Structure 1
């Protein structure tokens, strides 16, 4: 039996087909070949057109079929991973009302902070495990306040993966995990949050029916099946935000296990069985993919908006041969610490880790007689690694103290220089796996379809391809302390 995984990213759509018998990926591709546009109508805003996601999903699947390595009619289930926290609104005819306000949009910070103050800090933290802050609930409230004529047209609200499932099946569902990432879920009452709904004045009818993450979220419609050369009626049996899904793809399901990713944004994600929260709101807690009302499994999520997006900006605006590989090659010629050059990578909207401050990306201490672009290439990757260390220290304060971190060999984790800086600044070994979000989504579909007797069986053949241990007596700790001092001065 074959499983199809779809990963709706900010930059592109990735799709993979996995053989459930071996858990091996037999085909994979992405679309488009260039990174998708983020619509920025005002400073701090970030939007994308959901219909563009759907167009790209279809083109990605058709491109995958063209590889000829499998029979599309052998696919039995579909799983979807998606960029978290995005707001998608549709009317009663399932037509998109406005562009999606996506995860890195900062417009609703004040609205969320006001709700946090008026509902009450202790109440929000103990029940929601978060402030409404800049999450989906606050974004919906922004639409209600600023676009009332559009708000009145809303029939259902969704996250990006819900929308793609709707386009595939015509059916709309949500899950506890999804509701929690939007800060709509009350963990103490185990229901949709009355505090949030009543404070913002939302009608409960705009929220889709709640299903388990691993369950049927609808069946592939005849017209879509014909377009994509798939069987009519294939179920969508898994939907998850990209970070819980990344953790799933790395078999991070039990308390104490930790995953990391470094794509457009950077994330460290640790699983716990405790209702923990950060009183300073720098780190967030959501329901993990295997959370139920009876078995508490939560993901403690550190998100850094400005990671891979900065490395991409550097690639696009400096004259390095051979793209990222050329940048890495030049950077390797520079010693640890980049001869005093320090980079703060926070140039992609309000950073939750920094209490929703916007300080911008910064290159500090440039010496025009000493520093070259190679120094900048290295300082960027070091600065990104240091931002992970800074955030991990906040997670350690919450009791998340990883003995090892698992990561897919993708994005910045393809750079040996970055891995070296990450491991030696955090002091934590990294296990690297040959997997990605679309493979995780396919395996999630298999769990939901009951192709496996358990989630553990789904990952029985997934082994690390490399383990990187911290080295003794590196200079990273000293360099990090200098970087941290620079950041603290900027925050104050």
Structure 2
């Protein structure tokens, strides 16, 4: 097969990462990210969050230059390019493909009133039945904000796109997007299988402001002469895959079919499950988008549960409660010295902003059941991890009510999944087997590109070399203890949220 490699970009809000994957072995031969310190986010007003799209392109080029230098891989050796990106952002460009303003990114909350107004005016039944979500604070609502607040700029918009669409455009000179991308922007009508006319009319958007639609796995464009000169890539190299970071994380973990779950537990936590039929949560406590393998003939939806207060809670405990200088591993050992259920101590972990799973309530983090004669740092350390797990299981109940059978949870061995206590509690409370893998988003995007370019015939071939590190089965002998602790935690949560 010779020297054949796949290139994956992961465009995050803190950095842009690039990875080179060997086609034959599936091994990552080089990886790098820029900037080395967290990328700036502009917050002109409270609740705003913007980034210059051109900075993503600069970081992508820097990361690419580093991995090509480190690996001695030449542009002609790279056979396809895939892109993962931060979801829900809004990039507006003019006819010369230049950004008209900074991108309004995922954590910007200014558009909430515009989404709420559309939901009330259009009606819950139509929105949820067709969009599977409330317009909320997603890309369509952000565009409505621009149209209302910056009308002269809005009139100059040629196309709107997501962050990944922008990087693809910089590589190819072509503007296009995907159904998965449109669904995460809440532009896609799942019943009519087209851009949602009723939402476009409500907001007064032109139909041609939406980019051309290409399949998620396909030759979406080719590296232009100008981009080849800028990057060292070979002109004509196909861009053959793109997806938002959470669908792409699921792809990276080989999660494609109903009943399969991908999870992350960093600062915030995500449970992303695949559903095989059109459905939604009537209270919009979880979001439903088109998964990477959704087509007109194959219903594959990604149901996204996000918990804001996960790893950030564990970090807070280490910083403020645990003995000074303790490592996370030592803190996990300390927590494991306490029995399941933390002897009645319960932590409600929602201290990092409004939680969608609680219908956008902001209840804060709280500790319940402290016994001055018994409660120690170890109890707090354990109950914090249990609280995080129980919040995951609480959201997973919603997903089960939507018809999802949760049998396996795939995750990277990182962040909270490094804790044996966390893993055992999650497996035994949820009843699902946990499989831990060695991968990341940029490597997944590279393999997605191999699928889109036809280098791999399907996802089974693309991920045949995915390295599984560990399997954690539910502890059936002690499952009742975990479930009793979870039931008591839920009773406490009910009192907190009234």
* TM-score, scaled to structure 1: 0.91
Structure 1 residues 165 and 306: CA distance shift in structure 2, 3 A:
farther
Task: Choose from 145, 149, 155 the match for 2:148.
Answer: 145
After TM superposition, the structure 1 stretch with the greater mean CA deviation from structure 2, 342-351 or 387-396, is 342-351
Q: How many residues align?
A: 492
* Alpha-carbon shift at residue 118 of structure 1 (Å): 1.4
Give the match's secondary structure for 2:348. Answer: strand
- Secondary structure of 1:93 counterpart: coil
Q: 1:24-423, aligned counterparts within 5 Å?
A: 24-68=27-71, 70-311=73-314, 321=325, 324-325=328-329, 327-338=331-342, 340-363=344-367, 376-423=380-427
Shift of 1:104: 3.0
Contact persistence 1:410–1:436 (CA under 8 A):
no
- Give the structure 2 partner of residue 476 of structure 1: 482
Query: Do the aligned partners of residues 223 and 411 (structure 1) sit closer, same or farther apart at CA in structure 2, a change above 3 Å counting?
Result: farther
Residues 194, 470 of structure 1: CA spacing in aligned structure 2 closer, same or farther, 3 A cutoff? same
For structure 1, the residue ranges without an aligned partner over 5 or more in a row are none
Distance 1:92 1:441 in 2: 29
The Cα RMSD (Å) is 2.7
Structure 2 runs not aligned, ≥5 long: none
Distance across 2 between alignment mates of 1:70 and 1:85: 33
Matched position secondary structure for 1:66: helix
Distance 2:423 2:44 in 1: 35
| Equivalent residue, structure 1, for 2:22 | 19
Matching residue of 2:494: 488
Distance 2:432 2:413 in 1: 17
The offset of 1:103, in angstroms, is 2.4
Contact 2:29 2:71 in 1 (8 A): no
Q: Secondary structure at the match of 1:451?
A: coil
1:444 corresponds, among 434, 441, 448, to 448
Q: Which moved more, 1:239-248 or 1:64-73?
A: 64-73
Distance 1:193 1:335, change over 3 A: same
Task: Give per-residue Cα distances to partners, 1:34-81, cap 9 Å, x unaligned.
Answer: 344444444444433333332322222222223236445411111011
CA distance in 1, matches of 2:102, 2:340: 43
- Residue 130 of structure 1: how far off its partner (Å): 1.5
Give the structure 1 partner of residue 461 of structure 2.
457
Compared CA separation, residues 98 and 484, structure 1 to 2 (3 A): farther
Q: Please list the CA deviations of residues 67-120 of structure 1 after superposition, one character each: whole Å capped at 9, or x if unmatched.
A: 236445411111011121122222333333333332233332332122112112
- Larger mean CA deviation between 163-172 and 439-448 belongs to 163-172
Instruction: Give me the whole-angstrom Cα distance separating, in 1, the residues matched to 2:112 and 2:371.
Output: 37
Instruction: Name whichever of 445-454 and 254-263 sits farther off.
Output: 254-263
Distance 1:358 1:26, change over 3 A: same
Aligned mate of 1:467, from 464, 471, 474: 471
TM-score, normalised to structure 2, is 0.90
- Whether the 8 Å CA contact 2:258–2:405 is kept in 1: the answer is no
Q: Tell me the CA shift for residue 339 of structure 1.
A: 5.4
State whether residues 104 and 305 of structure 1, in contact with CA within 8 Å, keep that contact through their aligned partners in structure 2: no
Greater CA deviation, 66-75 or 449-458? 66-75
- Residue 296 of structure 2 aligns to a residue in which SS? coil
Cross-structure match for 1:6: 9
- Displacement of 1:417 after TM fit? 3.0
How big is the shift at 1:340? Answer: 5.0
CA displacement, residues 10-33 of structure 1 (integer Å, 9 cap, x when unaligned): 333232211112222222233333
> 1:172, 1:217 within 8 Å by CA — same for their partners in 2?
no
Q: Is the 8 A contact 1:246 1:436 kept in 2?
A: yes
Q: Deviations over 1:181-220 (max 9, x none)?
A: 1110111111110111001111122211100011223222
How far apart are residue 316 of structure 1 and its match?
Answer: 6.8
